[in-house]
Each structure stands twice: as C-alpha cells, then as structure tokens.
C-alpha cells in the first residue's frame, strides 16, 4: 500500500465517522482505534470529513486536529482523502492547502447546490481545479441526493477532460448503473482518460452490480467494511456469485443503516458495539435512536451473524 492517490486507486475507501466522547468532545483515542480497525479490515484508503463525518459540526481547529491525528496514525500506509466541499473557493483552497501540507493524499469536492445547467457545472469544476492547483489530486463527488445537482455522463466526461488533476469519481447517483456504464464505455473507446471510480450508491447498496459495470471499488461508510472488502475481492477474482453471496448476507443490516436521517446514528451505534469507538454520540443537530430502533438493530445483527456463519 502507498499513500498516493491516482487514477489506479481501487478497492475500499471507507468513509470514516468522527468519534466524539459522550459529552461531545473529539475523541482522539477512538480516532486511533478507528484507523487501526479500517486497516485491519483491509481498507485500501480512507475518506474523512465527509457529510457523514459530521464535518460541518467541527470548528476549524477541531478539523485540523482530527485530520492530523488520522494522518499520524495512518502513517502513510494508505491514501487519505479529505472532504473539501465549501461554498466559496477561498475556504476551499485554505482547507485543501492545509490538509495537503499535513500529508493528505487528495481532497473530495461535490458541486455547489445552486448549480443547475451543464454549463454551470462544468464551469464550477474548472474553477475547482484552478483553486486546488496542480499538486492536489481530487475526487469528483456525484451525490445528487445531498446536493440536488444532477450531472449527466457527458458533463462528467467534460470535467474529466478539462481537469487532469481529477483522478477519481465518487459515484453516488441513483439510478446510477447506466451512468457508470456510460462513463466506462467512454474511456474504453478512448473518448476520455480512465479514472478510478469508487461507488457509494445508497451506502453501497448496489455494490455487486456496480463492480460488474466497471467500478473499481467502494467509498462508503457501512459499519462492516469487511463486507465491502470481501465483495470487491471476490468480484476481482471473477467470483461474481460469491460477491453477491457476501453482499446478500449483510444487506438487511446495510439497508437499515442507510435510512436517511437516523443512518449515521445506526452506524455509530454499531461501531461502538463493535468496540471501534468509545461512544456512539453524535453532535447536535442530530437524530437519536429509540429503544425500538435498538431492538431492530440487535435483531438484525444477530440474524447477520447466523448468515455469516453459514457463509463460511
């Protein structure tokens, strides 16, 4: 493994949570343990300060502290991507420069929610590329559910054509399988250079199908990243049915974790239960689990364990 982020990236880049203590402070000890956990699971990279990393709830100082801690613990063993979407280019450049200086491998940028036409979107990412400068590899995040911006395949191809520093597409559009096929077809025909595509569609809920369409792996945050690692490995080895078998075993719980709004609370509950982080606490504003939610989760975890046993 290396910490370089380029178009050859593949495998699983979990979207890390940001651990807090019960009283809402950054939990750096849990941060270390979380990094170790992802490495042990076989992660090929890590993404921090994404939407589900509660990035917007951190102060600027806390963000820097958290990034530094993660990078120190990773110690070059895998690339680390940092979320850098911002409403203005001045704070975007500041954050990107700062995290690249600290040792990050690249940043991830989603379109501003106000963009609508193809032209506006392409122009925006031209400015992003100019803002980030030549030594900063970046990931284009296509996530209409959170941004409201729909990027046609032709728009993505234009962005990739304009910006040599864009090395990866994080594909999260739904429906997105046809889009994925279209982008892969374009690079196979030589219309555009081939970049890495990692998917996060519905939190990975279409992972086996996406790999079949040409995705290089997953960038998403399910509390059982080993599922994504196994699915990617089986698929890469040509064992597509095995990839589906593994995926199906985890699907009922993954589905529950992907509920909008309470999903992150479910994920943190599971990661605390697994001993990865000390507390499942989210910062405000936040959704909270009820006793009935926890009962649902516990049932699903138990049933999952049985299925995993059968799968061995």
- Give the binding site for a second copy (CB under 8 A): 24, 54, 56-60, 62, 86-91, 94, 112, 116-120, 124, 127, 150-152, 154-155, 174-175, 177-178, 181, 205-206, 209, 212-213, 241, 244, 247-248, 251-252, 255-256, 259-262, 283-285, 287, 290, 292-293, 296, 299, 303
E strand spans, the chain: 11-12, 46-48, 80-83, 106-109, 138-142, 166-171, 196-199, 217-218
Beta carbon nearer to a second copy, 37 or 124 = 124
Beta carbon nearer to a second copy, 134 or 241 = 241
Closest CB 151 distance from a second copy, rounded Å: 7
Closest CB 78 distance from a second copy, rounded Å: 28
SS3 163: coil
Give per-residue burial for 16-27: e unless 16+ CB within 10 Å, then b.
bbbbbeeeeebb
Beta carbon nearer to a second copy, 16 or 78 = 16
Beta carbon nearer to a second copy, 61 or 134 = 61
Whole-number Cα distances in Å, 272 to 20, 53, 96, 300 = 11, 15, 30, 16
Closest CB 79 distance from a second copy, rounded Å: 26
List all residues 6 or more positions away from 283 whose beta carbon is below 8 Å from its beta carbon. Answer: 20, 24, 54, 57
Closest CB 80 distance from a second copy, rounded Å: 22
Beta carbon nearer to a second copy, 276 or 297 = 297
What is the C-alpha to C-alpha distance for residues 152 and 182, in angstroms, rounded to an integer? 10
Closest CB 147 distance from a second copy, rounded Å: 11
Beta carbon nearer to a second copy, 57 or 77 = 57
| Angle CA 71–76–78, to nearest 5 | 95
Closest CB 74 distance from a second copy, rounded Å: 24
SS3 155: helix
What is the C-alpha to C-alpha distance for residues 35 and 43, in angstroms, rounded to an integer? 10
Beta carbon nearer to a second copy, 21 or 150 = 150
Give per-residue burial for 126-161: e unless 16+ CB within 10 Å, then b.
eebbebbeeebbbbbbbbeeebebebebebbbbbbe
Neighbours of 2 (CB within 10 A): 10
Closest CB 255 distance from a second copy, rounded Å: 6
- What is the chain's length? 312
Is residue 168 a contact partner of residue 198, using CB atoms and an 8 Å limit? yes
Beta carbon nearer to a second copy, 43 or 109 = 109
Closest CB 89 distance from a second copy, rounded Å: 5
Residue given tokens 């990865």 in the structure block: 276
């Amino acid at each position: 493994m290396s910490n370089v982020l380029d178009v050859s990236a593949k495998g699983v880049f979990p979207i890390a949570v940001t651990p807090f203590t019960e009283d809402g402070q950054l939990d750096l000890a849990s941060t270390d343990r979380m990094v170790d956990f992802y490495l042990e699971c076989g992660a090929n990279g890590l993404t921090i300060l994404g939407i589900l990393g509660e990035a917007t709830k951190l102060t600027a100082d806390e963000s820097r502290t958290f990034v530094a801690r993660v990078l120190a613990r990773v110690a070059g063993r895998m690339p680390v991507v940092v979320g850098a979407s911002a409403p203005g280019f001045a704070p975007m450049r500041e954050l990107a420069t700062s995290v690249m200086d600290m040792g990050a491998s690249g940043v991830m940028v989603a379109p501003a929610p106000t963009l609508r036409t193809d032209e506006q979107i392409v122009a925006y990412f031209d400015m992003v590329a100019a803002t980030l400068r030549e030594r900063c590899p970046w990931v284009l995040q296509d996530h209409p559910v959170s941004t409201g911006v729909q990027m046609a395949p032709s728009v993505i191809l234009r962005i990739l054509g304009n910006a040599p520093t864009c090395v990866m597409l994080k594909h999260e559009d739904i429906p997105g399988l046809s889009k994925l096929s279209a982008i892969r077809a374009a690079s196979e025909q030589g219309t555009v250079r081939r970049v890495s595509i990692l998917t996060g569609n519905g939190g990975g809920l279409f992972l086996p199908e996406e790999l079949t369409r040409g995705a290089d792996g997953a960038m998403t945050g399910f509390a059982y990243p080993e599922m994504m690692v196994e699915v990617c490995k089986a698929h890469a080895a040509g064992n597509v049915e095995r990839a589906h078998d593994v995926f199906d075993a985890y699907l009922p719980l993954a589905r529950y974790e992907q509920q909008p709004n309470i999903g992150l609370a479910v994920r943190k509950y599971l990661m605390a239960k697994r001993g990865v982080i000390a507390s499942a606490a989210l910062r405000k504003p936040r959704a909270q689990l009820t006793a009935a939610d926890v009962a649902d989760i516990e049932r699903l975890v138990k049933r999952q364990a049985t299925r995993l046993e059968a799968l061995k």
